[in-house]
Structure formats: C-alpha cells, structure tokens
Structure 1
Amino acid sequence: MKNINETILLIYNPVSGTRSFASHLDAFIDSFQQRGYEVHPVRSRSEDDFKDVIERKDLSTYSGVFIAGGDGSVNMAINKLIQIDVDIPLGIIPAGTVNDISYNLGIPQDINKAIKVLSEMKTERFDIGKANDRYFMNSCGAGLFIDVAHTTERELKNIMGRVAYYLKGISELPNFKAMKTRIVANEKTYNENIFLFLVVNGKSVGGFRSLASDASMQDGLLDFIGIKECQLNELSVLFAQILLGNYKNSKNVLHFKSDSIWIECLGEYCQNVTDVDGERGPSMPLEITMKKRGISIVVP
C-alpha cells in the first residue's frame, strides 16, 4: 500500500434511490484507504443541496471525485468539472433510481461490488454530448415521458424505481400531442411530427437496457431516436419493440447517428421541457454537439 498522499472527494445523496448508500459509507472509505487514498465524504441534505455542494467545493484540490447517486447527480458533477476546466477522474457509485450512466460504463449495479472494483482507480476517457450550454453523459430528449422524470413524486420514485416513470408516462398517452419538428444532421433535413425524441450516447436510457444496442460512449457519435406520430395501437406495439431493442426498422421510428444535430419545434404545440441525464435541460431549439473523449471516468 502506498502512503496516503492523494485525496478523493465523495459526495453522496442520502435521498437517492433506496436511500441505502449511507450503510456502505465505511466500506467505501476502508476500500480506498487500503489503496492509499484519503477520503473526504460530504453528505448532501437534499437534492437541491447536492447541487450547492458541487458548486461550493474546490474540485481542483482532489485526485478524483466520486458521486454516490443517480444520473442527475452525475450530470451536475460533469457540468461542474467542465465549467471550471478541471480534468480529474469522476467515479460513479450507482445509488439512484435509474442508473443508466453507470450501467453503460459496465459498473456493477451492486454498491459493494462497485466500490471494490472502482477503488482500483482505473480510468478511461469517454465522449460527452452538449445541448446548447448543458453537457450530458448519456441522453438528451423531449416529448412523451420526458417531463415524467421532473413531475413524478420522489417518494413514488424511491419506492417503485423506474416503474414509476413508466406508469406515469403511460397515463399521458391518450391526450399527448405530437410536435412538428425540423431536424438537421449529416447534411440532411427531416421534417417530422414526433411524439418523442432522444439523443443518446449510451445503450441504456430510462432503464431500457437495449434502447441503443450498438451505441458506444467512445465512438464520437450520438444516436438520434425519434418516435413519429402514429396511432395509439401502433405506439403500443412500438413500445414493446423498444423493450426488445428491435425497433430500428419500424416505419414509425427515425434513427441515425451523428456528431452534430439541430432540433427545433415549428408548430403551435411545442414541448419545450427537455431532459439531460434525468435533469431539466435547456429549452428548444437545441444545438447538440459531441465533445470527444471529453471526460475521465473511473471504470472496472
């Protein structure tokens, strides 16, 4: 074991997911101490306080920063690191309701297993997307289901996990309207009425583990997935196909890969609420670009 001369900042969100990370805190500290790291744990008091903690801390003084929380918490940390131009490794302990980012990185979803493998501090560089002025590691989207993440009560999310998102989203189906959009990518223009679009960097989004089955966080490309306006019965079939990951040949899906995408809403009905990694994102129109190998992540 080396002498303790490097410090890891650990920020954990006690209200994320099943609220169980606190019981793993000593195991985290012990595992990293055995490898020569001093751990500075910081407990946020709430979701809003978590953002304040990220803002207050001088991250440049640490050898790495670990986030124990969900995708939204990870997104806050990524944006802060880029904002202050500090290139230190980011570690992710999957302790949220939907942990798509850690899943896509191959991090064990069992907290104890994640702590054990990540304490080795092996790192790789990964791509990150940018929607207007907001960076995202995994996804950016708007339309059906998107506002659900921001309106579903926390207690329901903690108890039922991602099922809570699905149930609330399904309840919106009968009254949901399509958006008239103009999408520009790869020197092509698409004019489509769509219920939902997602721009994704990883395979899993919203707990759909195979949504973008051939996506990679290291290929410099983003996947655009748009669900076109269609009949309710067709939409039900399409959602079943999405669960199985075999939707890309559907006439009701627009799919392509690109490193630069422009999306604007043209009609009277416009779903301006967007989502980036589970957090409320910028309003449309969206200029989405890719920052290749833009961040260092601790991996198994």
Structure 2
Amino acid sequence: MFKKAILIHNGNAGQDETDNRLGAVIGPLAAGTGELVLVQTEKPGDAERICAERGEEFDVVFILGGDGTVHECVNGLADLASPPVVGILPGGTCNDFSRALNLPQTLDQAAQALMQGTTRAVDIGRVNDRYFSNFLGVGLITDTSENINPQLKGKLGKLSYLISTLQTVTSADPFRFSLKYDGGTEEGEAVMIFVANGRFLGTQPLPLDADALVDGILDVAIIREAGLPLLKELFKIKSFREWDAHASSFEFIRTRELTLSTDRSMQADTDGEIYLNTPVSISLLEKRLTFLVGEDAPAGLI
C-alpha cells in the first residue's frame, strides 16, 4: 500500500466523461493508498508544473490521461532528486507508453492492475533540455501528426492516425540530415528519422525487443524513401534483429546518444507533442523513473 498518492487527471474532458473516468479508477486506487489527492489540470503545462512542484510530496503519482499528459508529467518528474513511482491510467487515443508497460487499456482493469502489479525502473530519453518516454521523430511522422483531422480523431480514435499516415506517406518531402552517434556518422536524404525508447506507435507494436525500455539503448530508424512499399515493410518486420540492410528501404542504428541536424529547421515530434525544432541532442537516462507495470509484462520489465 502507498501512504500518499496524487491522481492527476486531464481537465479537458466533459463533466460526464470525467465523472465516468474517475468513477472507474478511484475505488481500486483508494483501496491501495492511505491518502489519495485528486488534481484536475485546466490548461496545457499544468500536469508538468504540478509534478515538478509537488511530485516529491507523494509516494506515487497516478496519471489519468493520454500520451500527451504522460509526456508532461515525465518532464515534470525527470529532474526531481527523488521522483515518486508513476502509474498510468490510459485515458487517451493511443496510450502507447502504457501499452509498453503491459497495462490493460480499460480504466477499471488498468487501475486494478496498477495496484496488483510491480514496479520497474525504466529508461527515459532526453532531448536538449526536455524529456520523452516513447519516441522522437522528424519528417514524415511530424507531418502525419500535423495532418490529423481533429474531428476524425474524436470519432475514429486510433484509426485517424492510420488514415493520416496513408494520406501523407505517398507525398513526403525528403530532407538532408547529418546524424552523429556512438558508432559513427550518417548523412544524406531521408523522409523520416525515428528515435524509439518505447515499443508502440499509434497502438501498433514496433519490431523492438521486449526489454527496449530497460536496455539502455535508443533504437533509431532512418527512412530514406516514402511510399506504400515502406508501410508493407514496417508492418512485415517482427524484429529489427531480422532486418536485412541490403534489402531494406531504411537503416537501423542502436546508440546511447546522438545529435541530429537538418538542412533546414524542422519540427520534432516527442511522444506526439510538437514544440521542438532541429538541431537536437538526444541521450538516454538509464532507469530514470520507476513505473507500475502489469503483472504479465514482458520478462525485460519484471
């Protein structure tokens, strides 16, 4: 049992939805904590500020929201000297990071799993003076996020991401880049550079090992050309360990840190949030934050 906990929930939802969400999780959380404090965010940045200012007051911070809310909280917690344990309650469209932690995607089951599961210290990415838990991307992935129709996202959820990808992938503009990493340098043209820490993107599993969140390594894909063959290849590959460099339309690098510059300033997508621009310096903070994980999580997370 945790002595003192805080539940941060996204205030953008309507009252009925908020009541339903809280009703699904408060029972299990309250049963497993001595004191449970509820805080509702009112505007972007609130979750990060609350975590930075109050995080060390608590044994555990529960995050009820999507990947954007998780991203804010991670940025508020990562600099703390003694950050609390983190539990994610998936309340967004994709909830990719909670999937990597093997948590159920329904709120009541997720709340129960958090209280029955175990803790695991996981890696967190650092980009310039900011942090990311799941990924950083430049190029096609940023264009895809920018092209998402808000009305479609509300009605279709994760399907809107796939629709946007299909609309974008045949018309991606290449850019010139220079990438320096542990093992050398890569230069040339690409349509997307993707730096992964987590194991899911848009609800789809990435071909990464089960211990991706705890292996101390960033997985980097350099995709040099767009088109439907690229999509087929990405969906076909089950593991980057099976990747054939000579028959592939992308390159794959594993590194602990890297710097990325582009021929023009380009937006970078971090965990689905777009507010940074190239050039960027990226590194990995090994086992920086401790999360509650599902009891049947992959062996690398237990």
What TM-score, normalized to structure 1? 0.86
Deviations 1:148-180 (A, max 9, x none): 324524332122122212222332345421011
C-alpha displacement of 1:219? 0.5
Q: 5 Å matches for 1:83-232?
A: 83-120=79-116, 122-213=118-209, 216-229=212-225
The corresponding residue for 1:263 is 260
Partner of 1:245: 237
1:9 Cα offset (Å):
1.0
How many Å separate the matches in 1 of 2:293 and 2:211? 18
Alpha-carbon distance in 2 for matches of 1:148, 1:38: 42
Conserved in 1, the CA contact under 8 Å of 2:10 and 2:40?
yes
1:39-50 correspondence runs (5 A): 39-45=36-42, 49-50=43-44
Question: Partner of 2:202: helix, strand, or coil?
Answer: coil
Tell me the distance in 1 between the aligned counterparts of 2:117 and 2:19. 21
Which residue does the alignment assign to 1:24? 21
Which residue is 1:274 aligned to? 268
Any unmatched runs of 5+ in structure 1?
none
Ranges of 4+ aligned residues in structure 1 off by more than 6 Å: none
> Which moved further from structure 2: 29-38 or 76-85?
29-38
8 Å CA contact retained: 2:144, 2:164:
yes
- One-letter amino acid of the counterpart of residue 228, structure 2: S
Tell me if structure 1 keeps the 8 A contact 2:47–2:72.
Answer: no
CA distance in 1, matches of 2:184, 2:17: 47
Cα distance between partner residues in 2 of 1:166 and 1:32: 34
CA spacing shift, 1:100–1:257, aligned 2, 3 Å: same
**Cα contact 1:203–1:215 (8 A) shared by 2:** no
Query: Alpha-carbon deviation of 1:202?
Result: 2.0
Q: Within 1, Cα distance between the matches of 2:48 and 2:230? A: 39
**1:69-88 to 2 correspondences below 5 Å:** 69-88=65-84
- The aligned residue for residue 34 of structure 1 is 31
Where in structure 2 are there 5+ consecutive unaligned residues?
A: 295-302
Contact preservation (8 Å) 1:205, 1:211 = no
Moved more, 239-248 or 219-228: 239-248
- For the residues of structure 2 that align with 1:20 and 1:209, how far apart are their CA atoms? 28
CA distance in 2, matches of 1:196, 1:9: 38
Cα separation, 1, equivalents of 2:181 and 2:131? 19
Distance between the aligned counterparts of 2:10 and 2:89, measured in 1? 11
Query: What SS does the corresponding residue of 1:282 show, helix, strand or coil?
Result: strand
Identity %: 24
Q: How many residues align?
A: 286
- The residue aligned with 2:291 is 297
**Structure 1 CA distance for aligned equivalents of residues 287 and 33 of structure 2:** 28
Superposed CA RMSD: 2.4
1: distance between equivalents of 2:222 and 2:216?
20
Shift, 1:21, TM fit: 5.8
1:286 to 248, 263, 280: 280
